[in-house]
Amino acid sequence: MNEAGSVPELHIVNEGTLQVLILEGDELIGAKQNRVVNSSVLIATNSELVLPVSCVERGRWSPGGM
């Protein structure tokens, strides 16, 4: 995950040798915004994808947020 991008999606890069399972409802914490995963996904080794997510901290990206 990185700090750039838009609120409703995350660019995920799996550089590891194992697949990564992210389940619907998992909370991803950090960067500019905490988010909840909208659908389960299995990320293959050495691959990347855009993951649909929902914001769980309204206004955090706006001036004066938090």
In which domain, by residue range, is 38 found? 9-55
Tens digits of residue pLDDT in 16-55: 999 999 999 999 987 778 899 999 999 999 999 999 999 8
Q: Which H helix or E strand runs over 63?
A: none
Q: Is residue 1 part of a domain?
A: no
**Total domain count for the chain?**
1
Q: Tell me the β-bridge partners of 11.
A: 50
Q: E strands along 1-66, which residues?
A: 9-14, 20-22, 27-28, 35-37, 41-43, 47-55
| Assessment of whether the complete model's pTM goes beyond 0.75 | no
Residue 29 lies in a domain: yes
